[in-house]
Structure 1
Amino acid sequence: MPPSQQFLAWQDYIAPLLDVHLPENVYPEDGFIARQSAWNLGGMLLIQHSSPAFGYARLPEKVRLSPLDHWHIIFLQAGHSWTEVDGRVVQNEPGLVEIRSLGRPFRGRKLETRSVSLIAPVDLFSDHGGLPAASNNVVLGGHRVRLLADYVASVEANLRFFTQDDLASVKERLREMVFEAVTPLVERNGDGDHISDMGLMARARRFITGNIASPDLTAEALCKQLAISRTRLYELFETSGGVANYIRRRRLLAAHAMLADPSDTRKVAEIGAAIGIDSPANFSRAFTQHFGYSPSNVYKYAQEQKSAHMKVLGERTSGSRRPSKACCGRWGCFEAAPKKDG
């Protein structure tokens, strides 16, 4: 790719997640060599990244139009970054860990950097009541963080050797270590409202996940379950784009995971019905509008991967499935974190 097109290509690639710009007195013609690999660990992504300096922002409009209910946990291996949320700026550097919510607006800049990071759904920590809300836009260090960073480095070094059977234990260990490293270090004093919101959101997410296909999953049902008013419920989900939008998004993400699972034998229309959308046309329209590609595309890809995998199994007496990179360079695919064969 010609140097003059490199930054524009990066800008287009990262656009669903961030708006990015070059530093002052740096121009696209100077070239922009960025490298990024995303590894699916079975519901958690590990991202390897290196790039020249650039500025970034996830503004309220992008949060609303491209919602991601995930934590971004960043370990810098080289370089520095500065991120601002609500007027508070934190600086990240090697030896520390930065935690950022992709469900909240932020902006910042970074020097030439190399990093490894984790992108984990908020719901991944729901068994523990969720990470503290005050975890957003913090940089932490210390013994626990060093242990976590060492384990992440070990996972990174062994990515190509893990089999599919290894992933559940790797993800579980990462989940536990992140929670154990972050929770004791995050300041909670004077943040009672945020802690209250955190507990309510954790309960709301569990209820939504457990009733994802129910036609009775409504704002009224949530109010009753949480014992709060509609006004309080709408305030709770305001940064997630509203209650109905959050439920719709979780249903579509669940459908994406079903479609991408080669072992799921249901047809597209049946999966739509399984998440409470009886009309195939409405399901296809909503899915395509959210992800940018149709449910049939995901279904076809999963079946092709299943056929290829069965062919390999037929040709070899033994084999293993390994963690794979995402099927395409779209952050929409990463959001759903589908399982795929490598």
Structure 2
Amino acid sequence: MPDDERSRPSPAQPDGAAHVERRRFPRETKPPDERPVPPPALEPLRFSTHGLEPEQQFAAWQAYVAPLVDVRLPDNLTPDAGFKADHAAWNLGGMLIVQQSTPAHSYIRSEAKVRSNLIDHWHISILRSGRTWTEVDGHVSHGEPGKMELRTLGHPFRGRSTDAQTLSLYLPRELLYSSSSEIRNNITLSGTPTKLLIDYLVGVEAKLAELADGDLSHVLQTVRDMILTCVASSAAYSSPPEQHSSLPLKERVHRFIQHNLMSPDLTTERLCKELGVSRTRLYQAFEPDGGVHHYIQRRRLLSAHAALCDAANRQQIIDIAFAAGFSSAAHFSRAFSKEFGYSPREARNVAVPPYLAHAVAPAPEGERAHSFDKWLKMLGHNHAS
């Protein structure tokens, strides 16, 4: 451009005013957030009878829930009518969340069923639709939408359900221990704290497929605290908690063992002395469990298993064995292999991911019932204190 044109005044400026060239620069834009989104931590274990022939559906459901309960159809129905049921389980490490839809049926967790497996978790049930009636020791708990039921799997129960959709939680008994209150068995809770908990769980349920590893501990801690709040605010707990000496013997022994699991002198003699019970009575109480020594050893093995599965725990296997209360590496290895069917080294290399870290991947189709049973058995044996 010629010099005389560059110095020519702008038409919009007064005569003689020099033109100042203004350069336009693009506005700075904030770069997009390039932080990687953490992958989902959970993958559900799903089971459905919808794809089966109607006459096969109920038998398939019976087999799937057999580790927990025995189920029967109402008297006026036959298996040929079909039984369309759905079950989705999410393993948060220290808690299982289960979504379930079933037609009307009855259920029983018998004394024999309780004896055949040692799980004594809390089962917390929230109905979206339908009604349930569950009896324990002559007391019937009535479940309906808007209420929350709590019962232990360590005690027999029986009941019946209409067509129902249910959201359930399974939590270790130890997770809900509280110094200020004891949760009684087979109770129904309602009221504002319970409604808040239900709303929170519905929100968690909607995000299950998106939760990352770092979210799991927060969810579990929040659920635990809210359950204890519901218990503390319930009119059923206005009386002082039970005195230690008034609790049933097995419950007292369970608590003492849990609090002293890593103590090297956790023996039958110490239990008898600390709890003021005779050796004969202690043996009689734990005869269905294979004896009190077997019960202690199994709890220790489960604790060691969880430590071996924890990718963040780099202790030597022998140190984990000693920490779990075993005095001999050879004894630990033999007992571990007998209990789980694989060696401690195999557990470290392959095993179930650790508590509050990863979900357990669903098993192949033919092993799903066994896998849900395994989730229940392994639940929470490395939980935070």
TM-score range, shorter chain: 0.7 to 0.9
Q: Measure, in 1, the Cα distance between the counterparts of 2:292 and 2:175.
A: 20
Aligned-pair identity (%): 39
TM-score (norm 1): 0.78
1:40 deviates by: 1.8
Change (3 A) 1:97 1:197: same
Q: Which residue of 1 aligns with 2:58?
A: 7
1:216 deviates by: 2.1
SS of corresponding position for 1:330: helix
Q: Which residue of 2 aligns with 1:87?
A: 138
- Partner amino acid, structure 1, of 2:208: L
Gaps of 5+ in 1: 307-320
Q: Measure, in 1, the Cα distance between the counterparts of 2:69 and 2:230.
A: 27
1:100 deviates by: 0.7
Change (3 A) 1:129 1:87: same
Q: Measure, in 2, the Cα distance between the counterparts of 1:45 and 1:171.
A: 10
Greater mean alpha carbon deviation, residues 199-208 or residues 35-44: 199-208
In the alignment of these two chains, the number of paired residues is: 317
SS of corresponding position for 1:23: coil
Alignment of 1:186-265 (within 5 A): 187=236, 196-197=245-246, 208-209=257-258, 211-226=260-275, 228-230=276-278, 234=282, 241=289, 243-264=292-313
Greater mean alpha carbon deviation, residues 166-175 or residues 189-198: 189-198
Q: Which residue of 1 aligns with 2:7?
A: none
Q: State whether residues 4 and 30 of structure 1, in contact with CA within 8 Å, keep that contact through their aligned partners in structure 2.
A: yes
Q: State whether residues 104 and 239 of structure 1, in contact with CA within 8 Å, keep that contact through their aligned partners in structure 2.
A: no
Q: Measure, in 2, the Cα distance between the counterparts of 1:229 and 1:20.
A: 38
Structure 1 or 2: more helix by fraction: 1
1:285 deviates by: 1.5
Which of the residues 174, 180, 199 maps onto 2:223? Answer: 174
Q: Measure, in 2, the Cα distance between the counterparts of 1:130 and 1:287.
A: 37
Gaps of 5+ in 2: 1-51
Which of the residues 334, 356, 360 maps onto 1:281? Answer: 334
Alignment of 1:289-308 (within 5 A): 298-299=347-348, 301-302=350-351
Q: CA-to-partner distance for each residue in 1:129-169, whole Å, 9 max, x for gaps?
A: 38625x21111211111111111111111111211111111
Q: Which residue of 2 aligns with 1:330?
A: 372
SS of corresponding position for 1:69: coil
Alignment of 1:118-157 (within 5 A): 118-126=169-177, 128-129=178-179, 132-133=182-183, 135-157=184-206
Q: State whether residues 96 and 141 of structure 1, in contact with CA within 8 Å, keep that contact through their aligned partners in structure 2.
A: yes
Change (3 A) 1:336 1:130: farther
Q: Measure, in 2, the Cα distance between the counterparts of 1:29 and 1:100.
A: 32
Q: Measure, in 1, the Cα distance between the counterparts of 2:231 and 2:287.
A: 23
Larger Rg: 2
Q: State whether residues 46 and 119 of structure 1, in contact with CA within 8 Å, keep that contact through their aligned partners in structure 2.
A: yes
Change (3 A) 1:194 1:28: farther
Q: State whether residues 56 and 82 of structure 2, in contact with CA within 8 Å, keep that contact through their aligned partners in structure 1.
A: yes
Which of the residues 31, 41, 59 maps onto 2:110? Answer: 59
